[in-house]
């Protein structure tokens, strides 16, 4: 079993790498302009070029993938000769600074005219500024240059006398043009393997922070639906399969088929129309604001009910078919001929083998519940992982797409590993080595 688990973990790592490459290549080759998707269609070519440079999107594709996977700080340290450090401020913001060699203080710079203005951060959080023109070096042609850390978490290359223009997009204000721009930018991040998938191109916020909230919300929604629907579907499927062809079997089978073939958006809209608009029982949308989902349980009723109805029919029919097959098997007939009690045969001999197929389906649907409930989340405006990935795909937000895809792969492979372990308890003949 230990060797089997190690092999599965290796398979999970390999799958995550392959999926990350596939997602990156598909996003790169898909049509659309990421700058215009994010900032609108009226940006000028100069503003577009400035945005691409500041976000590191002007780098070759293979370097951008490497930066996303293992980070860019190591490469920035090699190019700049600086020692870099990331800190989290008292307000929760992450900032990159250079470490001053003389005393270990944190320092970064900005260019004003032809002057380098340094900002030093003391250990107590206070800062001081001063002119630091001694940092200028000369290239082969004799032109002054300097590699430094700016106040936007980049390692940048400044060249003296160019008066480079830069456009920054400020939310609520729009584009702001300033001088003192760099001629090369390297956005700093530690990389996915070190827990830093980067900054969302669409929102400007760290993907890890946004993803945590979205995954939490989806786990709440999927978890409640799972706890409700799986025991109910297994019980109803078992009851239907025990009496194949009976009225009970026909009612449950037809009802399950009706719910499973109805599109999610249709089920959700019907529930909103009936329970929210006509009966005015529960809210028809999920507007949480700063609240966690469990703080407004009334808003969870319709999304959970929609997922329950969709999943109920499918798992019910799989369980019913598995139970029918098991009840027809030779060892069950032998048990009846021996005179064993009916429910003893069902629970002791039939149920454990009948659950193998439904458990496979259930484990597959864990991944679907977490990431594949996009339609349900969009219909109800639910701020979950599925809606987050849909928005990221619409805007070609590669950092958010990659991180969300890795979570789905982790859940998919992990749930299958749990399913394989459960098989050994349901059927002692199954062994993994």
C-alpha of 253 from chain center: 35
**pLDDT confidence of residue 290:** 65
**pLDDT confidence of residue 426:** 62
State how far the alpha carbon of 115 is from the alpha carbons of 78, 158, 179, in Å. Answer: 24, 11, 12
> Residue 34 falls within a domain, yes or no?
no
Mention every residue, 6+ apart, whose C-beta is less than 8 A from residue 387.
214, 374, 377, 378, 381
pLDDT higher than threshold 90 for residue 20: yes
> Residue 409 falls within a domain, yes or no?
yes
Cα radius of gyration rounded to whole Å, the chain: 29
Query: Mean of the per-residue pLDDT values for the chain?
Result: 83
> Residue 129 falls within a domain, yes or no?
yes
Considering the domain architecture, whether residues 242 and 335 belong to the same structural domain is answered as yes
pLDDT higher than threshold 90 for residue 84: yes
Considering the domain architecture, whether residues 175 and 277 belong to the same structural domain is answered as no
Considering the domain architecture, whether residues 256 and 403 belong to the same structural domain is answered as yes
How long, in residues, is the chain? 433
**pLDDT confidence of residue 186:** 93
> Residue 42 falls within a domain, yes or no?
no
pLDDT per residue as tens digits for the range 245-300: 788 888 888 887 887 778 888 888 888 999 888 888 888 887 776 677 888 888 88
> Residue 284 falls within a domain, yes or no?
yes
Q: 325-336: string of b/e by CB count within 10 Å (b at 16+)?
A: ebbeeeebeebe
The model's pTM is 0.80
Q: Which residue has the higher pLDDT, 142 or 402?
A: 402
Considering the domain architecture, whether residues 260 and 294 belong to the same structural domain is answered as yes
**pLDDT confidence of residue 175:** 59
**pLDDT confidence of residue 402:** 93
CB-based contacts of 5-9 (< 8 A; 24+ apart in sequence): 5/417, 8/413, 8/416, 8/417, 8/420
E strand segments, 234-311: none
Considering the domain architecture, whether residues 293 and 341 belong to the same structural domain is answered as yes
> Residue 224 falls within a domain, yes or no?
yes
360: tokens are 């496979």
How many angstroms separate the CA atoms of 412 and 370, rounded? 10
pLDDT higher than threshold 60 for residue 22: yes
Q: Can you give the residue range of the structural domain that contains 167?
A: 73-188
- CATH number, domain of 351, equals 1.10.3720.10
At residue 395 the predicted structure's pLDDT band, cuts being 50, 70 and 90, is confident
Asked if 13 and 192 touch (Cβ cutoff 8 Å), the reply is no
E strand segments, 35-134: 84-88, 94-99, 106-112, 115-121, 127-131
pLDDT higher than threshold 60 for residue 430: no
Bridge partners, 176 (sequence order): 168
Considering the domain architecture, whether residues 355 and 421 belong to the same structural domain is answered as yes
How many angstroms separate the CA atoms of 373 and 226, rounded? 13
Considering the domain architecture, whether residues 214 and 131 belong to the same structural domain is answered as no
Q: Which residue has the higher pLDDT, 44 or 153?
A: 153
Burial of 48 (0-12, 13-18, 19+ CB in 10 A): middle
Considering the domain architecture, whether residues 90 and 171 belong to the same structural domain is answered as yes
pLDDT per residue as tens digits for the range 43-83: 788 888 888 888 888 899 999 999 999 999 999 999 999 99
At residue 106 the predicted structure's pLDDT band, cuts being 50, 70 and 90, is very high
Q: Mean of the pLDDT values across residues 202-206?
A: 81
Considering the domain architecture, whether residues 131 and 251 belong to the same structural domain is answered as no
C-alpha of 325 from chain center: 39
Q: What are phi and psi of 291, to 5 degrees?
A: -80, 155
pLDDT higher than threshold 90 for residue 120: yes
pLDDT per residue as tens digits for the range 352-377: 778 777 777 777 777 666 655 788 88
> Residue 138 falls within a domain, yes or no?
yes
pLDDT per residue as tens digits for the range 86-105: 998 877 778 899 999 888 88
Domain count, the chain: 2
């Amino acid at each position: 079993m230990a060797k089997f688990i190690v092999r599965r973990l290796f398979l999970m790592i390999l799958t995550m790498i392959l999926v990350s490459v596939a997602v990156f290549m598909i996003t790169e080759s898909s049509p659309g302009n990421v700058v215009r998707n994010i900032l609108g269609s009226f940006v000028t070519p100069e503003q577009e070029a400035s945005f691409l440079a500041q976000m590191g999107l002007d780098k070759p594709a293979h370097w951008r993938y490497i930066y996303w996977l293992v980070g860019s700080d190591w490469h920035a340290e090699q190019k700049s000769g600086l020692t870099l450090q990331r800190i989290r401020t008292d307000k929760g913001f992450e900032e990159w600074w250079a470490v001053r060699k003389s005393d270990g203080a944190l320092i970064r710079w900005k260019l004003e005219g032809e002057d380098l203005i340094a900002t030093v951060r003391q250990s107590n959080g206070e800062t001081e500024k001063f002119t630091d023109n001694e940092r200028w070096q000369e290239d082969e042609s004799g032109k002054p240059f300097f590699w430094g850390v700016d106040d936007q978490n980049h390692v940048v290359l400044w060249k003296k006398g160019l008066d480079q223009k830069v456009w920054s997009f400020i939310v609520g204000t729009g584009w702001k043009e300033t001088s003192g721009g760099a001629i090369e930018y390297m956005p700093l991040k530690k990389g996915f393997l070190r827990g830093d998938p980067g900054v969302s191109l669409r929102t400007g916020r760290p993907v890890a922070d946004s993803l945590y909230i979205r995954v939490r919300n989806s786990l709440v929604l999927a978890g409640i639906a799972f706890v409700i629907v799986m025991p109910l579907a297994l019980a109803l499927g078992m009851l239907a399969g025990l009496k194949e062809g009976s009225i009970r079997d026909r009612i449950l089978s037809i009802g399950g088929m009706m719910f499973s073939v109805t599109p999610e958006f249709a089920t959700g809209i019907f529930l909103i129309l009936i329970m929210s608009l006509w009966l005015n029982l529960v809210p028809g949308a999920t507007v949480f604001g700063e609240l966690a989902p469990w703080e407004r349980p009334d808003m969870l009723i319709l999304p959970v009910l929609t997922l329950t109805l969709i999943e109920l029919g499918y798992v019910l029919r799989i369980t019913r078919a598995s139970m029918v097959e098991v009840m027809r098997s030779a060892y069950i007939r032998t048990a009846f001929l021996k005179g064993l009690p009916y429910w003893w045969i069902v629970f002791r001999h039939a149920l454990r083998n009948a659950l193998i197929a439904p458990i496979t389906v259930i484990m597959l649907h864990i991944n679907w519940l977490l990431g594949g409930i996009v339609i349900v989340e969009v219909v109800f405006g639910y701020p979950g992982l599925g809606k987050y990935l849909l928005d990221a795909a619409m805007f070609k937000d590669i950092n958010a797409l990659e991180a969300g895809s890795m979570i789905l792969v982790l859940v998919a492979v992990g749930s299958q590993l749990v399913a394989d372990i459960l098989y050994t308890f349901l059927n002692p003949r199954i062994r993994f080595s």
